A = this chain, B = another copy of it.
């Protein structure tokens, strides 16, 4: 199993395919396993590098509380060990926050940045939502934890059309979400508590794609617009009829945006 020891912790990663690298950073409840359905498509032309951050998936748990900066440095050390020197960095939600922090520190290593449904600032309502998630996690009760968290993550439309799948997922995670998982989740939530890099986004100069969703209630369009306006070299698309978890609700449109962006990198079509 592909692990590297970084700062005395085992970090789990997977590499699929050959070509220019895309490094994927998961949302807070996701893991490398979440990307399985995308691998055939994404690894056709690219070296897909999946990573579980500390406290995610099969990576080790942290011993103490931390901020997202820790992930940035551990990720960087991991990629150096893997000799992945120049790559495209994609992050979803929590992973997008880490990706922006990474770009602020190590952007010379990036070809491009892809930010899906994320925020550069943990605002007041996100703090309370985060608190409620952390609280729900602290009870180690998966059914209630899922009911506290999922309505923020999926759209009303998706919920309505896929309620059975959602309920099956809740059952499924009853075994996957152990006490250790919940404690990791709680640390992860807390690690984003003080994020506020809005004023620094203009330092990001690499080509950036912003993927937002029409029905995202936690990182809504207005927040995506802020990111768009502050990163000069950015492109912005919206996935229709999807909530926060655009990758789950509209996986084909999500892939379309990612591959479309990568396939146009290096070209700047100018009409004016």
Taking Cβ atoms with an 8 Å cutoff, the residues of A that contact B are: 37-38, 40-41, 45, 123-125, 128-129, 131-132, 135-136, 144, 146-148, 150-151, 154, 156, 159-160, 162-163, 165-166, 209, 212, 214, 217, 220, 222, 225, 228, 235-241, 247-248, 250-261, 263-264, 267-272
Q: How far is the CA of A236 from the CA of B159 in the complex (A)?
A: 19
Among residues of B, the one whose C-beta sits closest to the C-beta of A139 is B139
User: Contacts A135-B147, A236-B253, A256-B260 given; 6 further ones with Cβ under 8 A?
Assistant: A125-B154, A132-B136, A132-B151, A228-B240, A236-B241, A259-B264
Question: Which residues of the other chain, B, contact A255 by a CB distance below 8 angstroms?
Answer: 260, 264, 267, 269
CB within 8 Å for A259 and B259 given contacts A125-B151, A147-B135 = yes
Question: Which residues of the other chain, B, contact A254 by a CB distance below 8 angstroms?
Answer: 269
| Contact in complex: B269, A251 (CB < 8 Å) | yes
Question: Which residues of the other chain, B, contact A258 by a CB distance below 8 angstroms?
Answer: 260
| Contact in complex: A220, B156 (CB < 8 Å) | yes
Looking at the complex, which one of B38, B239, B268 makes contact with A237 (CB distance below 8 Å)? B239
CB within 8 Å for A269 and B128 given contacts A236-B241, A237-B240, A240-B228 = no
